């Protein structure tokens, strides 16, 4: 058998269960060979069940080490759905949770802007037509403060040195 990183197991209905029309239920499942998975698994539903039977398991993270694992199943049909024992609902793959905090590669600090950059003067003039002096000063301050988010030429559209 492969290691825990390579193992994928079926997720099967444990007992025959009926789910009412247009509803959701948590049903007990078996995951054969789950001992080859890590303690936490990721359920991927089989979407073929929707077109064939009108129901589908909800994908998500599950504690594989529990003997009483349950999976949420939705019946999209207008009739009650019968899920027979050993019906495959999807697959389960090992899931590793990364507990490392976020990492910052580089922080760039910029000098505060003292005057409006030349590439924003036309925008400022078009935007201040109906503003009073106080509003113009506020707009000037905002454009100056956030001048780095505006493109200064056609060549730098979509490029940044900020992380």
pLDDT tens for the 163 residues of the chain, in order: 444 456 888 899 999 999 999 999 999 998 888 888 888 889 899 888 877 888 889 998 888 877 788 999 999 989 999 999 999 999 989 887 776 777 776 766 666 677 888 888 888 999 989 999 999 999 998 888 888 788 888 777 777 666 5
User: Helix (H, G, I), strand (E, B), or coil: what is residue 105?
Assistant: coil
pLDDT at position 161: 66
Contact, 109 vs 49, CB < 8 A?
Answer: no
* 8-94 CATH pick, 2.40.70.10, 2.70.40.10, 3.40.1390.10, 3.40.50.300: 2.70.40.10
Q: Where are the domains of the chain?
A: 8-94, 118-151
- Write down the pLDDT at residue 117: 85
Helix (H) or strand (E) holding 150: none
d(CA 76, CA 59): 15
How do beta strands 8-13 and 23-30 pair? antiparallel
Find out whether 17 and 27 touch, Cβ atoms under 8 Å.
Answer: yes
What is the value of pTM for the model shown? 0.55
Kind plus residue range of the DSSP H or E element containing 123: helix 121-127
In this prediction, residue 5 carries a pLDDT of 55
Q: What is the predicted pLDDT for the residue at 132?
A: 94
Is-contact 33 7, C-beta < 8 A? yes
CA dist 73 and 24 (Å) reads 6
């Amino acid at each position: 058998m492969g290691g825990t990183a390579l193992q994928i197991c079926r997720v099967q209905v444990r007992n025959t269960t009926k789910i009412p029309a247009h509803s959701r239920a948590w049903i007990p499942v078996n995951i054969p060979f789950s001992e080859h998975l890590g303690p936490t698994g990721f359920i991927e539903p089989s979407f073929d069940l929707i077109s064939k039977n009108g129901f589908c398991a909800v994908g998500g993270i599950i504690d594989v080490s529990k003997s009483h694992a349950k999976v949420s199943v939705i019946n999209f049909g207008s009739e009650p759905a019968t899920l027979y024992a050993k019906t495959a609902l999807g697959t389960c793959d090992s899931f590793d949770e990364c507990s490392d905090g976020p990492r910052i590669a580089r922080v760039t600090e910029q000098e505060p802007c003292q005057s409006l950059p030349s590439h924003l003067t036309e925008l400022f003039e078009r935007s201040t037509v109906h503003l009073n002096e106080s509003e113009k000063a506020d707009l000037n301050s905002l454009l100056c403060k956030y001048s780095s988010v505006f493109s200064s030429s056609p060549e730098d559209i979509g490029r940044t040195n900020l992380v």
